Amino acid sequence: MTSEILNVAQFAKLQKVDSATIANVIELFDVRSHVAGYSNLNLKAIYPKLPPAVGYAVTVTFRAAYPAESGDSYGGMPQLITDAMATPAPRIAVFQDLDDPPRAATYGEIMVTTFQKFGFSGLITSGAARDIEQVERLQFPCWASSVIVSHGYCRFLDVNVALTVGGLQVKPGDLLHADPTGL
């Protein structure tokens, strides 16, 4: 997890700049390769006109291609929200879809509404999106690899584990900044 929690004023400043500017500042300090620490072209901003999303990562591995051996779809949502509350707000949900290729959507209107109510500022998935118009009305920034109609057999496997989305390694609590150019 990020060692220092930012205050409201610091978050407000970060939300006023784009991800490319953040990348430029990081490059000035030469703390890592200039091509490291960013997602690849597999992730797309589903709503590119929305402002940047800034928050601490709540990471989740996910599957939806086939029914679970036990339990029901979305049965783990209450536990996911409970676990997420240990991460400071604002939070960004980061899903690694373990189905390759994605066979069903990671998120839709109901999931986004839930995350929005619990202090999340965005959602990022290596999987697919659905309910595009409904989620757009919620003004909730989302990034995904594709759009698909089915919600399949959604289930959350592990919460707050290191994972990879769009080629970017994300650990629980990482501070993320995402906009239409990427994260």
Tens of pLDDT, residues 80-132: 999 999 999 999 999 999 998 999 999 999 999 999 999 999 999 999 999 99
Give me the residues paired with residue 91 across strands: 56, 120
Domains of the chain: total? 1
Q: Distance between CA atoms of 146 and 84, rounded to whole angstroms?
A: 25
Query: Within a domain: residue 1?
Result: no
Query: Within a domain: residue 183?
Result: no
Residue with token string 């928050």? 55
Query: Within a domain: residue 89?
Result: yes
Where is 19: in which H helix or E strand?
helix 19-28
Query: Within a domain: residue 3?
Result: no
Query: Within a domain: residue 2?
Result: no
Residue-number span of the structural domain to which 161 is assigned? 8-178
Tens of pLDDT, residues 133-175: 999 999 999 999 999 999 899 999 999 999 999 999 999 999 9
Tens of pLDDT, residues 23-52: 999 999 999 999 888 999 999 999 999 999
- Whole-model pTM: value is 0.94
Query: Within a domain: residue 132?
Result: yes
CATH number assigned to the domain comprising residue 129: 3.50.30.40
Query: Within a domain: residue 95?
Result: yes
